[in-house]
Amino acid sequence: MPVLEVADVHKTYTLGKTEIHALKGVSFAVSPGDFLSIVGPSGCGKTTLLNIIGAIDQPTLGEVRIDGEPLSGLSDNDEADMRLARMGFIFQAFNLIPVLNILENVEFPLILAGVKPRERRERARELIEAVDLTDYGTHKPDELSGGQRQRVAIARALVNDPELVIADEPTANLDSETGGMILALMQRLNVEQRVSFIFSTHDPDIMRYAKRIVRLKDGLVAGVDEQEPAATADGAEPGGPASGVGKPGSPGGRP
């Protein structure tokens, strides 16, 4: 069964007397282990689509299903619980909490989920190690580089063991080398931990890493392509087909 189904999703924004049709009937599915990129020029509807998938926004028409369960019809609380339990989010602008240190930032979703202090501290440490920031736990976000901050955001997105991580232009504020390293890390986590990723980008250099590409144009799917994902500088082998068995990755990648 797909982890995620987007079924004929429309979104119309009304600004005074003007209607903006941001999405005009978008459909696709994401399988477990997928590494899918939503690509298209600025204004084509990427953020609108990812916000609807994350239940941050509602479609005007159509439906999103997570593990077969429609997002619509759930109360706000259920939606919040579902998001916390099954999805992780990575945003373009990092969205770290400046007054909290790195460990506390990564722990934060577990506080909301009511996980006990010792357990959540341990889990946060594991994730910080997984993104190669072991020595930075007590630092504040403003003491880190852009690439390091985005790694913290990835650790935070993964801390409650989601099956699906949604990333809206995760490399948009990074130089291309750092962006490549962030994709290498996501690829490694996709292969080693079998987390499905959906990330948007308008950067051809970044979309090379995807297993599948959904091309958005003016609020419609203009095409879906499968491709052999580019290998990354990380040395982790890019995943095979979405249905393949996860294999252990190379140790000690240093994005």
Ligand X SMILES: Nc1ncnc2c1ncn2[C@@H]1O[C@H](COP(=O)(O)OP(=O)(O)O)[C@@H](O)[C@H]1O
Q: Given the rule CB under 6 A, which residues bind ligand X?
A: 13, 15, 20, 22, 40, 42-48
Interface with Mg ion by CB under 5 A: which range of 43-51, 113-121, 132-140, 190-198?
Answer: 43-51
Strand 196-201 and strand 164-167: pairing?
A: parallel
> Which structure tokens are listed for 208?
């090379």
Query: CB of residue 84 vs ligand X: minimum separation in angstroms?
Result: 24
Q: Distance between CA 85 and CA 76 in Å, rounded?
A: 14
The smaller minimum CB distance to ligand X, of residues 1 and 15, is found at: 15
Phi-psi region of 78 (alpha: psi -120 to 50; beta: other; left: phi over 0): alpha
Between 120 and 212, CB nearer to ligand X: 212
- Residue length of the chain: 255
Decide if residue 48 touches Mg ion (CB under 5 A).
Answer: no
To the nearest whole angstrom, how small is the minimum distance from the Cβ of residue 180 to Mg ion? 20
CB neighbours of 34 closer than 8 A, spacing ≥ 6? 3, 196, 197, 198, 211, 212, 242
* Dihedral in degrees, nearest 10, Cα atoms 60, 170, 88, 243: 90
Instruction: Give just the sign of the alpha carbon dihedral 89, 75, 214, 172.
Output: negative
Q: Least distance to Mg ion from the beta carbon of 172, Å?
A: 8
49, 9 Cβ separation under 8 angstroms: yes
Shortest Cβ 175–Mg ion spacing (Å): 19
Nearer to Mg ion, 53 or 242 (CB): 53
Alpha helix segments (H runs only) across 67-174: 76-86, 102-112, 117-130, 146-158
Per CB under 5 A, the segment of 17-25, 39-47, 109-117, 133-141 that binds Mg ion is 39-47
Please select the residue that binds Mg ion; options are 47, 150, 187, 201, rule is CB under 5 A.
47
20 binds, among ligand X, Mg ion, none (CB under 5 to 8 A by kind): ligand X
CB of 244 to ligand X, least distance (A): 30
Choices 45-53, 59-67, 118-126, 244-252 (CB under 5 A): range interacting with Mg ion: 45-53
Task: Find the helix packing angle between 102-112 and 146-158, rounded to 10°.
Answer: 30
Q: How far is the CB of 219 from Mg ion (least distance, A)?
A: 13
Give how many residues touch Mg ion by CB under 5 A: 2
Give contact residues for Mg ion (rule: CB under 5 A): 46-47
